[in-house]
A = this chain, B = another copy of it.
Amino acid sequence: MKVDQVRAAGRPRDPRIEQSALAAVRELLLTGGYPAVTMAAVAERAGTTRMALYRRWPALPHLVHEAVFPDELMLDMQLGADLATDLAGFVRGTRDALCSPMAAAAVPELLAASATWPDLHAAMLQRFEGAFSALDDRLAEAIAAGEAHPDARSDELLQLIIGAVISGVLLTPDELDDAWVDRLAATLHRSLRP
């Protein structure tokens, strides 16, 4: 999958700087929230300079995004149960990914920054690709089994799940407990009935 990069001439980048910078962002997010994350603060805590950061990321939101969402989302879901259980798993995974203290501190600013940097917008969407295809497969399976009505759309379902989590974390962040997850999953399940 990963192509061999053409070995660039000149001194190679120190790989430890990238790791220490990402770690510094995570620590700053948890201790001081997004306002504490500045290029200067990250560089100082990572033991390097702002120039080394500008070489690696075009702007602060890209660095924050990579620190908070280094991989695809919701890889730990256990699908294969009945539809209601799998839906609850999707909702729980989405909530856990977007409502952790670190994500809650970063997500609103990342969403706002997406208006300025379209590539950041695309990068955030890309993190949901795996979840989306899994949801798409699971919904097709449910439709084939007669457990969901044929007009149900996985993109609309994903939009409802993500939207409920986002509006929840933005508007009522203290109420997103497991009972909330189960209620939302039950509602979505009802919306899929044939």
Using a CB–CB cutoff of 8 Å, the interface residues on chain A facing chain B are: 33-35, 105, 108-109, 111-112, 114-116, 125, 149, 153, 156, 159-160, 162-168, 170-172, 183-184, 187-188, 190-193
A108 vs B166: C-alpha distance in the bound complex, in angstroms?
Answer: 12
**Inter-chain contacts of A109 with B (CB < 8 A):** 112
A190 vs B149: C-alpha distance in the bound complex, in angstroms?
Answer: 10
In the complex, what's the smallest C-beta–C-beta distance from A22 to chain B, in angstroms?
21
Q: Is the CB of B115 within 8 A of A33?
A: yes
Q: Which residue of B lies closest to A104 (CB)?
A: B115
Q: Which residue of B lies closest to A189 (CB)?
A: B191
A105 vs B114: C-alpha distance in the bound complex, in angstroms?
Answer: 11
Q: Is the CB of A35 within 8 A of B170?
A: no
In the complex, what's the smallest C-beta–C-beta distance from A176 to chain B, in angstroms?
10
Beyond the given A112-B112, A191-B191, please list 4 additional residue pairs across the A-B interface where CB-CB is below 8 A. Answer: A156-B187, A160-B184, A162-B163, A163-B164
**Inter-chain contacts of A159 with B (CB < 8 A):** 164, 167-168, 171-172
**Inter-chain contacts of A170 with B (CB < 8 A):** 111, 114, 166
A111 vs B168: C-alpha distance in the bound complex, in angstroms?
Answer: 12
In the complex, what's the smallest C-beta–C-beta distance from A193 to chain B, in angstroms?
7
**Inter-chain contacts of A183 with B (CB < 8 A):** 153, 156
Partner of A191, one of B115, B171, B190: B190
Partner of A105, one of B115, B187, B191: B115
Q: Is the CB of B156 within 8 A of A162?
A: no
A190 vs B115: C-alpha distance in the bound complex, in angstroms?
Answer: 34
Given A109-B112, A112-B112, A115-B33, A167 and B156 touching (CB < 8 A)? no
Q: Is the CB of B156 within 8 A of A163?
A: no
A32 vs B97: C-alpha distance in the bound complex, in angstroms?
Answer: 33
